[in-house]
Amino acid sequence: MIKLEGIMTALVTPMNEDGMVNEQELKSLIDYQIERKVGSLLILGGTGEYTSMTFEEKCQVIDISVRAAQKRVPVVAGVLDTGIGECLKFSKYCKQAGADALLVCTPYYFSSTQEALVEYYTRVDREVDMPILVYNIPSKTGVNVTPDTMVKLREKMKNLVGIKECAPIGQAIELYLKVGKKINVLTGSEFAAVALMAYGFDGAVMATANVVPDAWVKMYELVKERKINEAMELFLQYAPLFNAIFSENYIGPLKYAMNKAGISCGQAQLLPLIPSKPETRKLVDAQMSALGLTE
């Protein structure tokens, strides 16, 4: 089983002002992350704007990313579709392109039963036949994979290697008690990450690691050394910046913060996302300056 532990950066997708993918900036961003010792990279998660891209654009991003990573760290490809057809189509492309694993989101729009979710994931497992992580983010999808369903999926899926869990902390802990140490259990919550890693989670999938990968890697290392208080103190230094970034739809403020730190990724986003508000940028500016992160 592929081991996914530590910090997985949920990578932004650098774009030009016309919305086209900026290949050179994407390659540079991947190098930047790997040099800072992140454990793996998530390409085309929600942070990568998967749901706003055409199939061809997504294929381009995966191709660039796999080539740029050069097997230095695992490349996990996000698959965030409403139905099985597009999910299978893109999953098979990612396998062919050389991705190391898939992060398959629960299908959304229609309210899926737990039985339907089992059918969905087991079909992807059968037809694609490569390492799969379940992506559970009920606050965005309106669909929740319960811990008991994860137990069933582990029994039925040959290729299940983990989960990115974004459910509330109580469910996250129940999940860990039922499948922890049997699959990779990763949190997707910035604000619960240190606590859950201290509890036993294998790592965290972090959007804010785009701008402060060093800090997140250090937090993970401190937790592994059982220096929990130090890890929490470090988190609390950065929490005001994270709050500023998440004070509105976070991708705009995140890209803004990255550029302020000298991490070139462009400001452009794809509709329905729009540029961050001036007042949000002021909040980000203040916290970046306080942390000494402004270029």
Structure tokens at 59: 């294929």
The letter for the amino acid at 95 is: K
Task: Please indicate whether residue 256 is annotated as part of the active site.
Answer: no
- Alpha carbon separation from 293 to 241, 273, 284 (Å, rounded): 11, 25, 11
Q: Annotated catalytic residue: which of 32, 120, 121, 135?
A: 135
Q: Annotated catalytic residue: which of 58, 164, 176, 256?
A: 164
Which residues make Cβ contacts (< 8 Å) with residue 14, sequence separation at least 6?
Answer: 21, 22, 25, 26, 29, 264, 265, 266
Structure tokens at 199: 């509890």
Q: Which residue has the tokens 């995140």?
A: 254
Task: Please indicate whether residue 108 is annotated as part of the active site.
Answer: no
Helices (H), the chain: 23-35, 55-69, 84-97, 114-128, 138-141, 147-156, 169-179, 193-199, 213-224, 228-245, 251-260, 278-290
List the beta bridge partners of residue 162.
Answer: 133, 184
Catalytic positions, written as ranges: 135, 164
